[in-house]
């Protein structure tokens, strides 16, 4: 995880990840389609962008692992 993220942002990312991949993917989909992110209502626009960017990077790792497994 990006060490430059605030404790508040890092903590929220960890909490969201603990909810599982499906929940994180739903949140990312809502963000991509411009829907309101109720889960992140306590954060500034900048913090929300940081959270979404970090979650997107985290999930891309899992997506990459799925691709590797499909090709074996």
Residue-wise pLDDT tens digits, 6-62: 999 999 999 999 999 999 999 999 999 999 999 999 999 999 999 999 999 999 987
Total structural domains within the chain:
1
Within a domain: 39: no
Does 66 score more than 70 pLDDT? no
Give me the domain span that covers residue 18.
8-31+45-62
> pTM to 2 decimals?
0.83
What CA–CA distance (Å, rounded) separates 69 from 72?
Answer: 5
Does 72 score more than 50 pLDDT? no
Within a domain: 70: no
pLDDT at 71: 47
CB-CB contact of 1 with 54 (8 Å): yes
């Amino acid at each position: 995880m990006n060490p430059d993220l605030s404790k508040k942002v890092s903590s929220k990312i960890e909490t969201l990840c603990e909810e599982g991949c499906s929940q994180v993917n739903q949140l990312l989909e809502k963000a991509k389609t411009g829907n309101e992110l109720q889960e992140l209502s306590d954060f500034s626009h900048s913090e929300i962008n940081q959270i979404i960017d970090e979650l997107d990077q985290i999930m891309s790792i899992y997506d990459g692992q799925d691709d590797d497994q499909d090709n074996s």
